[in-house]
Structure 1
Amino acid sequence: MALQTQLITNFTSGELSPRLEGRVDLARYYNGCRELKNFIVHPHGGASRRGGFRLAAEAGNPAKPSLLLAFEFNAEQAYVLEFFEDAAGNGKMRVFKDSGLVLDGGGAVYALGSPYAQADFARLRHVQSNDTLFLVHPDHPPRTLTRTDHAAWAFAEIAFTGTPEAWGPGNQPTAVCFFEQRLVLAATPGEPNTLWFSRAGDFFDLRTATREVPLDGWRDVEIADNGQNATDGRAGNRFTLYAGDASFQGGSALKGRDPSGADIRYYRY
């Protein structure tokens, strides 16, 4: 009996698992391949060879691996950041934009010194907010990488208010994200199951509780159940109230009115 070659024109099943070999009872068996390499499958069934790559630049140090991170501020301002270690063992960073390297004002390739060497790349984690990248690593204090122009970037160690006492050399957060306008850091080597949340709207304040009064003229007032002290607020709780200064308003201030008719505000954490 002559061997018959079956014509296949539909590849929408992609690559099939070896466990499906011989499963001629499945319709998808006839729409898949054992291996489909360097091809793009089209929704209507066909497949075409993928496009080639264009060399944008040699690696910062071809002798050692680099780390590439995406940085996208908007559709017009998107970058690829290359972290690498130079021949002297120093951390460096270069910036790619529009399929090429960003140059400085003198026409040379822009390069920035980086606190992260090749040994740090595997455990470096990041999250982005607008023009700022937040970076964490177990052996480095949390840092920001801020962009002010195509060739103007800066690393800075974050000066938190209320830095946890548990943090220290070799025991820094290893994960970072945002949640409900808070910066969340987590999983130091010494406390792998602990999360630290910043205050809402302030990524750099990690205090868990405070009654600090930063302005003159503040006073503590008990908000009574009968509302004699204020018509807005939770009964029985103590808040810091401030009379006057109409400029103090915002998401952290709740406005009320006392029996005398004067506006009062308390700062709520």
Structure 2
Amino acid sequence: MATIVLPSFSKGEISPTLHARVDTAVYRTSLAKARNCIIHPYGGISNRPGSVCIGPIKDHTVDTTRLFRFHLGDTDQYVLEFGDLYMRVIRNDAQVVNSGTTITAVTAAKPVVVTAAGHGLSNGDEVVLTSVGGMIEINNGRFIVRGVDTNTVELTHQVTGDNIDGVGFTAFTSGGTMAEVFELTTPYAAADLSTLKTVQSGNVITITHPTYAPRDLTRTGHNVWTLTTSTFAPAISAPTNLTATASTNTNFQVFHTRDQTVRYRVTSIADTDSYFEESLPITVTLTDSSDPPLNTLSWTAESAA
């Protein structure tokens, strides 16, 4: 059987109609079948990366949850989990959490009871436990807390809601942190998530939808995100205290007099090396009997103009 050297796979997978065309140049740089792989422009081929299960979503009773990418430089890359009226954040293959409290005791019982003084949690909050000494079975686990009081919580399963049975767990020794999963309230119902549109600029993602006002999602920290209604007004403010008074200067030539209503509009202008912007106008009206109108305007200027 003849051996054919294929120096490159840069053409990728070709049509079956070309499988016997050994006379063509594309034959020597292609594949009959390429599945779950990446064709590199320099000719090589490699396996396609797989998916990693980071953890369960918040609500398992709804059918729709959407993931959006948030890319900020080479070091901060996030996955945003949008569900029914909420958003969560994933970074470095883990759920982003709020500041945690130190664990001082864990019971090997059913349910497992965690002691962390002044934890500030409420029934139904979702938490992540890390660096727990001894009881490794709950390390890096996500749980829903119940039976909450000032310093203790009971752990229940994040999906089923069943009490965590710790009777056979390794005894707790010391240390560990309990932190609440970061969550941001949003107005987006689960039924509307499929039609959300996003575009990112720096630290801000603008979100649009046919039935919701446009909103800006702004990141200022791993667990510091704000969602505000977009504003399309200019940043510079209009001048204030605009007044108009009829001129008393008799040096002006008035051709004839008649009552007329005149309106004046004044705006602020921001003119810098990097941008030009005009404010919304401020207006004033005046009844004038001179033609042409001979009036004096005065206003308080915007400091940034």
Alignment TM-score, normalising by the size of structure 1: 0.53
SS in 2 for 1:121: helix
> In the alignment, which of 213, 227, 231 is matched to residue 155 of structure 1?
227
Extract unaligned runs of 5+ from structure 2. Answer: 101-178, 245-263, 279-300
Amino acid paired to 1:155: L
Shift of 1:79: 1.7
Counterpart in the other structure of 2:239? 214
SS in 2 for 1:122: helix
Shift of 1:214: 2.1
Deviations 1:197-255 (A, max 9, x none): xx6xx5xx9xxxxxx95234788xxxxxxxxxxxxxxxxxx99599xxxxx864448xx
Counterpart in the other structure of 1:101? 95
Whether contact under 8 Å (2:217, 2:227) holds in the other structure is: yes
Extract unaligned runs of 5+ from structure 1. Answer: 85-89, 162-198, 206-211, 220-237, 243-247, 254-264
CA gap 1:51/1:148 in 2 versus in 1, 3 angstroms: closer
Amino acid paired to 2:15: S
What is the distance in 1 between the residues matched to 2:203 and 2:42? 40
Counterpart in the other structure of 1:143? 215
CA gap 1:38/1:249 in 2 versus in 1, 3 angstroms: closer
> In the alignment, which of 47, 52, 59 is matched to residue 54 of structure 1?
52
Whether contact under 8 Å (1:9, 1:46) holds in the other structure is: no
**1:67-86 aligned within 5 A:** 67-84=66-83
CA gap 1:65/1:36 in 2 versus in 1, 3 angstroms: farther
Aligned residues between the structures: 180
What is the distance in 2 between the residues matched to 1:129 and 1:42? 29
What is the distance in 1 between the residues matched to 2:16 and 2:8? 19
**1:188-203 aligned within 5 A:** 202=235
SS in 2 for 1:14: coil
Counterpart in the other structure of 2:10? 12
Amino acid paired to 1:141: A
What is the distance in 2 between the residues matched to 1:147 and 1:52? 28
Counterpart in the other structure of 2:169? none
By relative contact order (CA 8 Å, sep 6+), the higher-ranking structure is: 2
Whether contact under 8 Å (1:131, 1:146) holds in the other structure is: yes
Alignment TM-score, normalising by the size of structure 2: 0.48
SS in 1 for 2:193: helix
Shift of 1:21: 4.2
Counterpart in the other structure of 2:125? none
Deviations 1:118-167 (A, max 9, x none): 32223211222332221110011111212232112222223555xxxxxx
Whether contact under 8 Å (1:60, 1:66) holds in the other structure is: no
> In the alignment, which of 20, 27, 35 is matched to residue 37 of structure 1?
35
Deviations 1:62-105 (A, max 9, x none): 56343121223333333221112xxxxx3221101122110112
**1:122-137 aligned within 5 A:** 122-137=194-209
SS in 2 for 1:30: helix
Counterpart in the other structure of 1:64? 63
Shift of 1:27: 0.9
What is the percentage of aligned positions where both structures have the same residue? 31
What is the distance in 1 between the residues matched to 2:42 and 2:75? 32
What is the distance in 2 between the residues matched to 1:45 and 1:100? 35
Amino acid paired to 2:46: S
| Bigger Cα Rg | 2
Structure 1 or 2: larger strand share? Answer: 2
SS in 2 for 1:153: strand
Counterpart in the other structure of 2:190? 118
SS in 2 for 1:24: coil
Deviations 1:167-202 (A, max 9, x none): xxxxxxxxxxxxxxxxxxxxxxxxxxxxxxxx6xx5
CA gap 1:73/1:6 in 2 versus in 1, 3 angstroms: closer
* Cα RMSD, aligned residues only: 3.8
Amino acid paired to 1:12: S
